[in-house]
C-alpha cells in the first residue's frame, strides 16, 4: 500500500474538492431507478477490494438514515450525492454513524441486510453479488425480489 503524506490543509481540501466533483458527476449519471432504492429507510452494501483488502475483500453494509436534526437535513439537501448512514462490517460489528457517497453503494433488501447482521457481517463476495443482482434486476413491487 502506498501512503502519500499531505503537507498542508490546502492540499487536503484540493483532494477533497476533486473527490466531491467526481462523486457529483457519478451521481448525476446514476439511473433514477437506482437512486430510488438508496433513500432513508433502505439498505445498501459496498465492497472494498483495494489496498489491504485485495486478498480478502471487506463487505460493508449500510442502513441509510435521516437525521433527526433540521440543520443536518438542510446540509444534506445541498449534497444529494451523499447520504447519512449507519455502517457495519466485520471490523465494526456494532456499526458507526457517518456518511457515504451514493455512487459507491449498491442497494440490497432488508432481508439480505438482516442475514448479514445475523452473521456478524461476514458475507462472501459471491453471496453479496447475488443479493445486489437480485435487488437491482427484479422488481421489488411485484413480489419477485426478496
Which cell goes with 108? 440490497
Q: Is residue 142 a part of any domain in this protein?
A: no
The least confident of 37-41, 53-57, 123-127 is 53-57
Can you give the pLDDT at residue 90? Answer: 92
Domain count for the chain: 1
pTM given for the model? 0.77
Q: Is residue 114 a part of any domain in this protein?
A: yes
Residue 15, pLDDT > 90, answer no
Q: Is residue 23 a part of any domain in this protein?
A: no
Contacts of 66 (CB under 8 A, 6+ apart): 40, 41, 73, 84
Can you give the pLDDT at residue 21? Answer: 84
DSSP H or E stretch at residue 71:
helix 70-77
Amino acid at each position: 500500500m502506498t501512503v502519500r503524506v499531505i503537507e498542508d490543509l490546502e492540499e487536503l481540501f484540493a483532494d477533497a474538492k476533486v473527490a466531491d466533483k467526481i462523486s457529483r458527476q457519478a451521481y448525476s449519471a446514476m439511473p433514477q431507478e437506482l437512486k430510488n432504492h438508496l433513500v432513508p429507510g433502505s439498505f445498501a452494501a459496498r465492497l472494498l477490494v483495494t489496498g489491504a483488502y485485495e486478498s480478502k475483500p471487506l463487505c460493508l453494509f449500510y442502513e441509510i438514515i435521516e437525521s433527526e436534526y433540521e440543520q443536518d437535513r438542510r446540509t444534506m439537501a445541498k449534497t444529494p450525492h451523499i447520504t447519512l448512514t449507519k455502517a457495519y462490517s466485520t471490523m465494526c460489528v456494532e456499526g458507526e454513524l457517518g456518511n457515504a457517497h451514493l455512487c459507491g453503494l449498491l442497494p440490497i433488501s432488508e432481508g439480505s441486510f438482516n442475514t448479514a447482521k445475523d452473521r456478524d457481517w461476514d458475507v462472501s463476495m459471491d453471496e453479496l453479488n447475488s443479493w445486489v443482482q437480485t435487488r437491482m434486476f427484479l422488481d421489488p413491487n411485484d413480489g419477485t425480489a426478496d
